[in-house]
Structure 1
Amino acid sequence: MYKIKKLIIMNKKYILISFIILLSTSVTAQINLPSFFSDNMVLQRNSEVNFWGWANRGADVTIIPSWTNIPVKVKSTGYARFDVKLKTPEAGGPFDITVVCGVYKKVLKNILIGEVWLCSGQSNMQWNSNNKLKEMLDELPNATNQKVRLLQVSNIASLNPQDNIYDSWKECNPETAIGFSAIGYFIAKELSQELNVPIGIINASWGGTAAEFWTPSHIIEKDEELLTNAKKQKPSPSKPHDAGSLWNAMINPLVGYNIAGVFWYQGESNIVSYSGYNKLFSAMIKSWRDAWKYEFPFYYVQIAPYDYKSKPEEQRGALLREQQIKTLQLPKTGMVVVTDLVTDIKNIHPTKKMEVAKRLARLAIVDTYGRKSNDYKSPVYKSHTVVGNNVIIEFDDIIGKLKVEGPLITDLLIADESQKFFPADYKISNNKLIVFNKSIKVPVAVRFGFTDVSTPNLFNSNGLPVSPFRTDKW
């Protein structure tokens, strides 16, 4: 009897010691992944995608993607971080990724391989079903699409760069699409149908925010003009106001997660410093590309007509649109014009988001994915020549014919050296706009749709509006 009791005590000690050892090993070998390395995520196809996380310093970590079942082994650094590259195949799935560290194992399930795009900006990108947007409310019942995945980044700001967010990927369905960017959703739907591959859309947008907030603060602080303009952004209870604060918390954690490119809709909050917007916007785009270490495509929306109550001589919305055109000088950029999609110039949130998304998606489908299409971009002013009493306007990005929706072109003005503008007559010849006024013998300048609220009616052959412009710098 004594021997039996002794044996039981010894077995209990052995079990307790084994449990302590197991628990200790498990704790020291635990592994953590960014929240967006989750079930349902999409990884960029035909790539060497970055995959990273944190483990005990010096721990051995093994990653096994199910599309190869070939283990990828790495040792975490003295900073308790590990980084590997996983070679992805052509589009497909669902797949799993198994991560093993000691006795700890984590399995990410229902992963798709396809195309990943990041959407960002302010409220017109953020606008969704929660804002009673009819297009999105009508779409929700039909929003189930297992090949589309959504990552909604929470609205959190920080004065310091962050390593992680609080959000994970979701399959697209009527529940997960609630509150998600309407433009982002419709882009995903369009790309999925056109490319026939899985699509992952990341939405990191925040209403009322200026581009300075989305730009690393060191970019702003080292440039006197950018810093001066940044200080024009006033504190508000509904948004941050520090340069870099949204970059730190909503973009920086994503850096390294392979993306095909970016869609952007923002600018309204920068009319207070419109003259520096191209410099700021270009610096922001470059900083994002530098952080990711590759020159991904960046497609954006020119801000819509809206009554900013500007002084007649200072049309700040028009002047910011002009700055947005200048950003097209950066490689791999494209701009969507939406002057025809506004039904109420008193509403800063135009309700036709589906068409905006289709135009953005078309830029990617042609310029990024190589589909053939003519006149898929809005024409933009290229140059002008004065010949007699005519001003001959030439455009970039036009192959077919210019066309007018209505009896006459609206918001077309001409001026002589007096700098007084008068309604202009016109002719269209070989995709050139010939502008004149019989009472002006020596014309100097032409303006087209160059006010905050203009919704002019000149289009290309595919019905895309010509971007507003001016030939003067008055």
Structure 2
Amino acid sequence: MKKISLLFLSILSGMGLCQAQSYTPVSLPSMFADHMVLQQNSSASVWGWGTASSTVKIIGSWAEKDTISAPVDCFGQWKAVLPTGKSGGPYTLQVFDGTSKIVLNDILLGEVWLCSGQSNMEWTPINGLTDMEREVADANCPDIRIFHAPKRASRSLQEDCFGQWDVCTPEVMRERSSVAYFFARHLRDSLQVPVGVMVAAWGGTPAESWTPTEIVQGNPDLNNNQIKQTYPWWPMEAGVLYNQMIHPLLPFTFAGAIWYQGEANRDNFEHYGLLIKSMIESWRREAGRCFPFYQVQIAPFLYKSNNNEAAFIREAQEWVVRHTEKTGLVVASDCVEDVSTIHPINKRPVGKRLADLALAKNYKTLAGVHESPFLRRCEVKEDKLVLTFSSVQNGIVCRDKEVKGLEIAGPDGIFVKAKVVINNKNQLVVSSPEVKTPVSARYCFDDATVGNLFNKEGYPVAPFRTDM
């Protein structure tokens, strides 16, 4: 009888130990941490892990009387929707399951944006920035928060990118994306709300690596066109950066995305427009909403190409905007001080122009002209071409005595320097004594020509060609 009792106690003890060992404390992915920003006036997604069949509860101190509950499924995962109010803070966020508890501090409610791309998005003040010391010293902005995703790749989908939120101080800003900072700074100053930017960028990477593998491999044009050379120290394969640096962020509730990439795809520009359009749509599907997506057109640089590859990338970037809803394009050709560097250091106007797009299109707080002129129509009038543009209703100007980079051609396709007149309809009237029967025109349609045409608001005219 004594042996049976001891055996029974041993079994009970073992069962208790087993239950204790099977318990999983509640946990969160890295984007939920101290100093984070949650999207204001939204139903913010919150998720994580815990013990199967248990219940996780979430309380935000902005509405501390409201407790949100979420069951943990058989995979140990849970997800909840947390209502947020108007901008403000600092707040706390509590996540607990009755046994373990997480308390996140210094949480702000505001506007959140995803910032991605290659080196010109990754580029930091310490890499080079116009007026760096002044800009860094002025970057004590406690209501701007920057989430930095470390550079990692994966051949399989990941649940966490292992990033970190930081309060924007001069020391932090010095080592974070300049474009993302200036974008956040201009939004903050204009909207008077906290702003969080989530930066996932890696220099030299092609767009294929930021696009789900099945999207690239499932389309013959994209699959046959992707970069073939791979390196163990550089992520060139389709999907590997999407898996590790984008997929974990897409459930997070953010207002939109900004993107600065394209230089790495010059050698396979033929389907770049389709690739970016497909990438945008795949991100939106995974996020479950059609969020705004704004690009920066690649800047002039002496690539010494044989086939105008950079010009074709810029053209493809404009094509994406024309064929994809809720998109926009920033032209940054005038931000280049030296065309022999692929990393222009004048990043403030780039971030501001991206923010202007958001202020006009998202927040409806910026009236009037807020973007660059793009060619809309080319008409033949006797021995001249008449070019019509968007965003020039208040005027189009040349900042020098004559227009740079505008050429005209006849049926032979030989382009020569054009004579340009700006008429009273803010159109360009283009001609040349060498071209009796004009057919087409081009403006800055090459690697590195920096144009000098602007609208009255100071946005540069986008490069173009009419002989498509």
Task: Report the TM-score range of the alignment, normalised by the length of the smaller protein.
Answer: over 0.9
Whether the 8 Å contact between 1:136 and 1:182 is mirrored in structure 2 is no
Match of 1:190, SS? helix
In the alignment, the residues of structure 2 paired with residue 181 and residue 33 of structure 1 have an alpha-carbon distance, to the nearest angstrom, of 25
Alignment partner, residue 419 of structure 1: 413
In the alignment, the residues of structure 2 paired with residue 414 and residue 439 of structure 1 have an alpha-carbon distance, to the nearest angstrom, of 9
Alignment partner, residue 352 of structure 1: 346
1:114 alignment partner, one of 96, 110, 113: 110
Alignment of 1:244-263 (within 5 A): 244-263=239-258
Q: Per-residue deviation at 1:231?
A: 3.3
Whether the 8 Å contact between 2:210 and 2:240 is mirrored in structure 1 is yes
2:119 alignment partner, one of 116, 123, 126: 123
2:270 alignment partner, one of 268, 275, 300: 275
Structure 2 stretches lacking a partner, 5+ long: 1-11
Alignment partner, residue 324 of structure 1: 317
Alignment of 1:49-68 (within 5 A): 49-68=44-63
Structure 1 residue 78 and structure 2 residue 52: aligned? no
Q: TM-score, normalised by structure 2?
A: 0.93
In the alignment, the residues of structure 2 paired with residue 195 and residue 76 of structure 1 have an alpha-carbon distance, to the nearest angstrom, of 38
Structure 1 residue 41 and structure 2 residue 36: aligned? yes
Q: Per-residue deviation at 1:102?
A: 2.3
Match of 1:89, SS? coil
In the alignment, the residues of structure 1 paired with residue 128 and residue 350 of structure 2 have an alpha-carbon distance, to the nearest angstrom, of 17
Moved over 4 A (4+): 20-27
List per-residue Cα deviations over 1:300-353 (Å, max 9, x = no partner): 110000111112xx1111111111110112111111111111121110001101
Whether the 8 Å contact between 1:150 and 1:200 is mirrored in structure 2 is yes
Alignment partner, residue 385 of structure 1: 379
Q: Per-residue deviation at 1:394?
A: 1.1
RMSD of equivalent CA atoms: 1.8
Alignment partner, residue 360 of structure 2: 366
Alignment of 1:42-441 (within 5 A): 42-69=37-64, 70-232=66-228, 234-236=229-231, 238-311=233-306, 314-329=307-322, 330-429=324-423, 430-441=425-436
In the alignment, the residues of structure 2 paired with residue 285 and residue 421 of structure 1 have an alpha-carbon distance, to the nearest angstrom, of 36
Match of 1:176, SS? helix
Match of 1:139, SS? helix
List per-residue Cα deviations over 1:267-295 (Å, max 9, x = no partner): 00000011111010111111111111111
Whether the 8 Å contact between 1:26 and 1:104 is mirrored in structure 2 is no
Residues paired across the two proteins, number:
453
Match of 1:125, SS? helix
Alignment partner, residue 447 of structure 1: 442
Alignment partner, residue 11 of structure 1: none
Q: Per-residue deviation at 1:71?
A: 1.1
Match of 1:369, SS? coil
CA gap 1:59/1:304 in 2 versus in 1, 3 angstroms = same
In the alignment, the residues of structure 2 paired with residue 137 and residue 122 of structure 1 have an alpha-carbon distance, to the nearest angstrom, of 24
CA gap 1:267/1:82 in 2 versus in 1, 3 angstroms = same
In the alignment, the residues of structure 2 paired with residue 63 and residue 215 of structure 1 have an alpha-carbon distance, to the nearest angstrom, of 33
Whether the 8 Å contact between 2:30 and 2:162 is mirrored in structure 1 is yes
List per-residue Cα deviations over 1:172-220 (Å, max 9, x = no partner): 1122223210111111111111100000011100000010000000000
Q: Per-residue deviation at 1:29?
A: 5.0
Q: Per-residue deviation at 1:27?
A: 6.7
Whether the 8 Å contact between 1:375 and 1:461 is mirrored in structure 2 is no
Whether the 8 Å contact between 1:42 and 1:115 is mirrored in structure 2 is yes
CA gap 1:40/1:236 in 2 versus in 1, 3 angstroms = same
Q: Per-residue deviation at 1:168?
A: 2.3
Q: Aligned AA for 2:309?
A: R
Deviates more, 1:391-400 or 1:178-187: 391-400
Q: TM-score, normalised by structure 1?
A: 0.92
In the alignment, the residues of structure 2 paired with residue 169 and residue 414 of structure 1 have an alpha-carbon distance, to the nearest angstrom, of 52
